[in-house]
Amino acid sequence: MKVKLRNPDRIEHLPGPMPVSAVLARLDVNPETVLVIAEGELITKDHVLADDAEVEVRPVISGGAGPASCHACERTSVIEVRRHRSSYCAEHFVDHVRNQVRTAIDHLGMISYDERILVAVSGGKDSLALWDVLLDMGYRVDGLYIGLGIGTYSDRSEQVVRTFADRRGATLHRVDLGAAYGYDIPAATALRRRSSCGVCGLSKRYVFNRAAVEHGYDVMATGHNLDDEAATLLGNVLRWQTPLLSRQSPSLPARDGLARKVKPLYRLGEREMAAYCVIKGLDYIVEECPMVAGNTVLRYKDALNELERHAPGTKAAFLFGYLERARDEHFPADASDGATVVPCDRCGQPTGVRGGDDRITAVCAFCRTRDRVRIAMADPRRHPAGSPA
């Protein structure tokens, strides 16, 4: 059989017949971190692949495995969610995703039907799935795409976002970092003391908030899922980042010029979001960002996936336990960092200031970082004459 693996793309040939679980074991792939797709359909670990089968092993970085019929009907399941001890057919899996989003929204009062919502769409599975689910549920939700200037990766991301918006007849806003602010994310590699992912995250948060306020949206929604949130929590705990711990929430209220921010997918794993996209026929960008090497969150995800492999439900217990039992008691929001929010002297966007009314510090982190990137870009030592661009 022919097995296509991703990141990096490669083909392996194995003899058949062989169950999916054995194929993954032969290839040394953690089943918690992939979906297996044959002829456009998801298949489970007990599915036996013939000698002439062609399959794709698609990385998603998350957890699940198991056989059987659908939890809600008699049909054969296409996906298992081990932490729920459930398997679903395609139709009931889509219901499961909507139910989890419904629970998240209702439980935390995230959004209402008369509000205008802006969802940040990157072209990845999570944000496209979120936009799709919220549209299906009848919410007033538009998209924002931020052009990061990361070569063909950004081109392809934008293409899938545009295709989705056209297909759904949905409104898509676009902000190009280079055109609007004079730098792109590859230029951030010129900075010594800050990772490209750090600059990228800061830039995305800034542009997203500014666009939401300027276009009059009530709420900003992001596609952060259970894996993202558990990995962020682990990182913050390992370094005891108490201000960040007190702010970690799937729903942050509006504050001083910052729109309300919600994460309706926080109860769903990455693997579930990838499966949702495959089942709903949503094209998303599978390849990894070429600058991902600096992303520390991925290391925390790997560690949590290893724990999840042996004890399904670990990630959910870690995250939900923190949100429901530990945060308010031990890291209350008013004990965060004591910052006062004032308008940035340069751009007018809200920024935190410590130490009373010291206006010198009232230039926001985005403006300061942008200046540093642009200065580094202009440094001739980085581009000596005759060197390739």
Q: How far apart are CA 201 and CA 371, in angstroms?
A: 16
> Could you tell me if 94 and 71 are in contact, meaning their C-beta atoms sit under 8 angstroms apart?
no
Q: Which tokens sit at 265?
A: 């997918």
Q: How far apart are CA 97 and CA 133, in angstroms?
A: 8
Q: Which residues pair with 86 in a beta bridge?
A: 81
Using CA of residue 40, residue 44, residue 50, residue 52, what is the dihedral sign? positive
Member of 79, 89, 188, 234 binding Zn ion (CB under 5 A)? 89
Q: Which stretch binds ligand SF4 (CB under 6 A): 86-94, 103-111, 289-297, 341-349?
A: 289-297
72 binds Zn ion (CB under 5 A): yes
Member of 135, 146, 279, 289 binding ligand SF4 (CB under 6 A)? 289
367 binds Zn ion (CB under 5 A): yes
Pairing of strands 86-88, 116-120: unpaired
Q: How many residues bind Zn ion (CB under 5 A)?
A: 11
Member of 344, 369, 372, 373 binding Zn ion (CB under 5 A)? 344
Member of 57, 118, 146, 200 binding ligand SF4 (CB under 6 A)? 200
| Residue positions counted in the chain | 389
Query: CA angle, corner 160, sides to 141 and 180, nearest 5?
Result: 75
> Which C-beta is closer to ligand SF4: that of 81 or that of 148?
148
292 binds ligand SF4 (CB under 6 A): yes
Rounded least distance, CB 196 to ligand SF4, Å: 5
Between the alpha carbon of residue 201 and those of residues 120, 293, 303, the distances in Å are 12, 14, 22
291 binds ligand SF4 (CB under 6 A): yes
- Looking at residue 62, its amino acid is S
Rounded least distance, CB 153 to ligand SF4, Å: 8
Q: How far apart are CA 95 and CA 110, in angstroms?
A: 20
Q: Please list every residue from 97 through 156 that binds Zn ion, using CB under 5 A.
A: none
178 binds ligand SF4 (CB under 6 A): no
Member of 92, 224, 260, 301 binding Zn ion (CB under 5 A)? 92
- Sheet containing strand 34-38, strands side by side: 10-13, 2-5, 54-59, 34-38, 41-43
> Which C-beta is closer to ligand SF4: that of 79 or that of 289?
289
Q: How many residues bind ligand SF4 (CB under 6 A)?
A: 9
Other C-beta atoms lying within 10 Å of the C-beta of residue 73: 12
190 binds ligand SF4 (CB under 6 A): no
State the residues that interact with Zn ion by CB under 5 A: 70, 72-73, 75, 89, 92, 344, 346-347, 364, 367
State the residues that interact with ligand SF4 by CB under 6 A: 185, 196-197, 200-201, 289, 291-292, 295
